[in-house]
Amino acid sequence: MSVSFLCALLPNAALADNVFTDLEKPVAHPLGQYEELTDSKPHDTDAAWTKLRPATHASWASIDIRYRRNDIPRVKAQDVWSGKAWRGERVNGQALLWTNKALADVEVTATELRSGKNVIPASAVRTNFVRYVMTDELNKDGGGCGYRNAADFDSSVVADVLDINKSLPIARNTTQPIWMNIWVPQDAKPGTYTGQITIKGKDMKAQTLQVSLQVLNRTLPEPQKWSMNLDLWQNPYAVARYYDVPLWSKEHFDAMRPIMKMLADAGQYAITTSIMYKPWNGQTEDHYDSMVTRIKHIDGSWSYDYAVFDKYVDFMMNDVGINRLISCYTMIPWNLSFDYYDEATSRVQFIKAKPGDEAYAEYWGNFLKDFSRHLRQKGWFDKTCIAMDERPMDAMRAAIKVIKDADPEFKISLAGVYHEEIERDLYYYCLAYGYKFPKDVLARRRAEGKISTYYTCCTEGFPNTFTFSAPAEATWMALHAVGGDYDGYLRWSYNSWTRDPLRDSRFRTWAAGDCYCVYPGPRSSIRFERLIEGLQDTEKIIQLRREYKRKGQKAKLE
């Protein structure tokens, strides 16, 4: 209050303007057509582009490269894309269109794919213009963590967004990538299917590129039956803000539905719920808030209401189809400050207390007893994990005690480094990249039905899924889970969008793209499609291993 008052008296209006301009300018939140930001990097000259004959080219290209927007692509012209897939698998291709003249109303269409009398319908062949988003780079130390001042980092636009706009103008002297994804129907007959995609527009000759897909006689299960425990944290608050809809309104759920279904289709296990205010101290553009109403009455008693929690969980389970785990964040947040509505003061108040304090045990103990009762009544208790963040051992032990005192059957999760002392208490234990479970512990955990995974975050410069990371790194994330003998992979961010996520993936902390891997619309990304590729590969490995084991094909197993 006194601070604002002081500031209101500041005579230096120019200073104030400078500081506020960026922050307070209203940010449009496009869902349809939008313009990309300008790239300030050097690129192929107008002279080089002018030499291009004919003016417009198209070719298949690599899915491992983020082609630069203002350079002539160095690709060997390739008319035919060839690939193999299991039934039920999604496969990716990337085509490029590059031109030295402005084109209007450019569109891409796909034909059905035919193998004799068998057909994969055109609707299974998705094509998206790949759009460019502003990114930055790693820290000088090679990591991606910490506060960053935009001026200290080199910025450029990179190809990542898979746009949902069906028609685009293409500027002269640019390369426009086109992403193709074929989702082979579960019941497709094996065989080699062919078809084509066609790029049309005003002022250009239609360009046709061939597709040849060999469907193998193997079937990938539906994503929600995959074995790998994928855990990308959802942020419903970012959706409400970007779509400018009231939290938990019908409009909010309508906006979330396709975004969350995309995640379900990647095999997501867990519903991310927040059971307190700012479980991660509001580190994202849109902080998480409590999905639980806690009221402290003037007689000292507490009451709880789960209307938001129930509605969100029910939506995710029964509408979206993510129904294997409910993660509740968090018992030991980074800032030990716990919210409740205080009847006495008619305000939201905060208890500052640490695990081991009586006030901590009262706040959480009371809640968890009621929460257990509620979860059991809903039939959700066995799927629910009370999550902790990494803290000193005595704090984690004190928190575990409070949970177990409230209900000894509560499942508990932790993402952090390996701690032998509490490993047995953790139903879902996710280790930081580089940490391993001892072999015997892992075997026991699997026998007990526990989940043992790994995570990456800003710490790793490589591999990672920043917007400037090489696309294949996303695939590697999933493969490392099977390679490193984990049950799955966690990343903290599915859609914690920045202020203007479609155009600018940079954030006040961490390397660009750390906060999200899908875009409003919803729009998928090169990163997300390549992660799904990796998840499919791990599932294929798991399926094959099972089969070889079942059939005793030892040689193949090794």
Residues that bind its own copies (CB under 8 A): 2-4, 6-8, 15-16, 19-20, 23-24, 246-249, 277, 289-293, 295, 297-299, 305, 307-308, 311, 339, 341, 343-348
Whether the Cβ atoms of residue 361 and residue 402 lie closer than 8 Å to each other: yes
In angstroms, rounded to a whole number, what is the distance separating the alpha carbons of residues 171 and 35? 11
Which is closer to its own copies, CB of 47 or CB of 298?
Answer: 298
Cβ distance to its own copies smaller for residue 168 or 292: 292
What is the C-alpha to C-alpha distance for residues 243 and 260, in angstroms, rounded to an integer?
A: 14
Strands of 302-305's sheet in order across: 302-305, 293-296, 337-342, 347-352
* Residues 366 and 303: beta-carbon distance below 8 Å: no
Give me the amino acid identity at 97: L
Residue 5 or 558: the one with the smaller Cβ distance to its own copies is 5
Burial classification of residue 375, based on how many CB atoms lie within 10 Å of its CB (0-12 exposed, 13-18 middle, 19 or more buried): buried
Q: How far is the CB of 150 from its own copies (least distance, A)?
A: 16
What span, in angstroms and rounded, lies between the C-alpha atoms of 30 and 262? 19
Kindly tell me which of 201 and 279 has the beta carbon lying closer to its own copies. Answer: 279
Least Å distance, CB 1 to its own copies, is 9
Nearer to its own copies, 453 or 498 (CB): 498
Residues 6 or more apart whose CB falls under 8 angstroms from that of 85 comprise: 91, 182, 184, 213, 214, 215, 216
Integer CA distances (angstroms), 12 to 9, 15, 23, 24, in order: 9, 5, 18, 17
Q: Which is nearer to its own copies, 311 or 373 (CB)?
A: 311
Nearer to its own copies, 288 or 492 (CB): 288
Cβ closest to its own copies, residue 286 vs residue 487: 286
Shortest spacing between CB 398 and its own copies, in angstroms:
25
Are 30 and 75 in contact, with CB atoms under 8 Å apart? no
Number of Cβ within a 10 Å radius of residue 45: 11
What minimum distance in Å lies between the beta carbon of 9 and its own copies?
9
Question: Which run of H or of E encompasses 79?
Answer: none
Which of residues 104 and 247 has its CB atom nearest to its own copies in the complex?
247
**Alpha-carbon distance 66 to 156, whole Å?**
12
Angle at 403 between CA 400 and CA 406, to 5 degrees: 145
Which CB atom, from 3 or from 151, has the smaller least distance to its own copies? 3
Q: How far is the CB of 237 from its own copies (least distance, A)?
A: 9
Helix then strand then coil, in percent of the chain rounded to 5, is: 30, 30, 40
> How many C-beta atoms surround the C-beta of residue 257 within 10 A?
14
| Minimum distance, C-beta of residue 255 to its own copies, in the bound complex (Å) | 14
Nearer to its own copies, 4 or 38 (CB): 4
Could you tell me the smallest distance in angstroms from the CB atom of residue 318 to its own copies? Answer: 17
Give 2 or 38: the residue with its C-beta nearer to its own copies. Answer: 2
- Beta carbon nearer to its own copies, 249 or 318: 249
Structure tokens at 323: 């129904």
Smallest separation (angstroms) from its own copies to the CB of 271: 17
Q: Residue 148 Cβ, how far from its own copies at the closest point, in Å? A: 16
Torsions phi, psi for 431 (to 5 deg): -90, 145
Type of residue found at 389: D
Contact by Cβ (8 Å): 509, 147: yes
Retrieve residue 542's tokens. 């798991």
> In angstroms, what is the minimal distance from the CB of 474 to its own copies?
34
Helix, strand, or coil here: 150?
A: helix
* Residue 4 C-beta: closest distance to its own copies, Å: 5
For residue 300, the minimal CB distance to its own copies (Å) is 9
With contact defined as beta carbons under 8 Å apart, do 92 and 181 qualify? Answer: yes
Match 């209101």 to its residue by tokens.
8
Q: Find the shortest distance in angstroms from Cβ 26 to its own copies.
A: 14
Q: How far apart are CA 443 and CA 449, in angstroms?
A: 10
- The tally of CA atoms less than 13 A away on the side-chain side of residue 425 is 21
The residue among 114, 115, 73 whose CA lies nearest residue 94 is 73
Q: Is 318 helix (H, G, I), strand (E, B) or coil?
A: helix
